[in-house]
Amino acid sequence: MHRTIAFCLSLFSTLLLIAGDPSWQGKSIAQWNEKDAKQVLVNSPWVKRAAVSLLFQPSEDQLRAGGYMGGGKGVGLDSLELTTLVGGGNRHPNSVAKKPGSLLVRWESASLVRKAEAKLEDSNAPGWDGEYYAVAVYGVPVEAGRLDEPGRAGELKRLGLLKREGMKDVKAAKVEITASGAGLATVLYLFPRTAAITPDEKRVEFSAQLGRMFLAQYFYPKDMQYQGKLEL
């Protein structure tokens, strides 16, 4: 009896193992249904949720000492109370805990990602011209990232990096910021393909600084293959 149970469980686990393969992997792209496309865009090696860290926010004076102006936090006149002058209140009314969140990062230039977006007719999928490694960060708060300020794209470009072991960091060649509504935006980083990424590389790190937000995320080329071909 117990042998039978053990056998059934082993069989069940084997079936589960077989069923564990994402359905889209075993199909050609033409055969994908909507669910497959969603899976590619939500849970695949090309899509990650990157933890967001809030960088130390210098005051305006400290920024100016560093050659920059603007970018401090204006806490507003409402922060001033009698206790500001004499004490007894919250001495740092702005100092609420800074909790990190996460942002969705997608390796856009992989052809299967593009196909999945096309399959779902995703109007928010970013577009670009030229041959680049394209990585998009979705849902960036415009205000926190100060994305609507002049010259911001240039700064983002300098602070968007692809890091590979044993190789020089690659800076973004181009950055495009696209409003996506609700105070959010998609930031697309385009990296030159001058040194091609190979499947043998252990990992590729994407890092970006958006205003005072910083995120870094690994991608693993070994896993980013579709039907035996590296898709980047």
Q: Which of residues 48-77 bind another protein (CB under 8 A)?
A: 48-70, 72-77
Residues linked to residue 208 through DSSP beta bridges, in sequence order: 215
With binding defined as CB under 8 A, does residue 202 bind another protein? yes
- Under 8 Å between Cβ of 134 and 107: yes
Q: In whole angstroms, what is the distance from residue 222 CA to residue 25 CA?
A: 15
Q: Which of 134, 135, 213, 232 binds another protein (CB under 8 A)?
A: 213
Please tell me the distance from the alpha carbon of residue 102 to that of residue 88, in angstroms, as a whole number: 36
225 binding another protein? (CB under 8 A): no
> What does the alpha-carbon distance between residue 169 and residue 177 come to, in Å, rounded to a whole number?
22
Binders of another protein: how many residues, by CB under 8 A? 124
Q: Out of 159, 173, 193, 230, point to the residue binding another protein (CB under 8 A).
A: 159
Q: Is 228 in the site for another protein (CB under 8 A)?
A: no
Quick one: which of 27, 31, 33, 102 contacts another protein (CB under 8 A)?
102
Provide the 8-state DSSP code for 136: E
From the list 82-90, 167-175, 190-198, the region that binds another protein by CB under 8 A is 82-90
Considering only residues 108 through 137, tell me which ones interact with another protein, judged by CB under 8 A: 116-117, 120, 122-125
Residue among 183, 182, 180, 100 nearest 138 (CA): 180
The least CB distance from residue 190 to another protein, in Å, is 14
- Give me the least distance between CB of 194 and another protein, in Å please: 22
Buried b or exposed e, range 44-81, using 16+ CB within 10 angstroms: bbbbbebebeeeeebeeeeeeeeeeeeeeeeeeeeeee
Pairing of β 184-192 and β 132-141? antiparallel
Residues 5-24 as x/- pattern, contact with another protein by CB under 8 A: xx--xx-xxx-xx-xxxx--
- The rounded distance, in Å, linking the Cα atoms of 128 and 191 is 12
Q: Please report whether residue 169 would count as binding another protein according to CB under 8 A.
A: no
Residue 151 interacting with another protein (CB under 8 A): yes
Closest distance to another protein from the beta carbon of 25 (Å): 10
**Min separation Cβ 37 and another protein, Å:** 8
Site residues (CB under 8 A) for another protein, limited to 170-199: 176-186
Q: In angstroms, give the least distance from the CB of 227 to another protein.
A: 15
Binding of residue 38 to another protein (CB under 8 A): yes
Rg (CA), the chain: 23
Q: Are 44 and 36 in contact (CB under 8 A)?
A: no
Using the minimum distance from each CB to another protein, give the nearer residue, 1 or 196.
Answer: 1
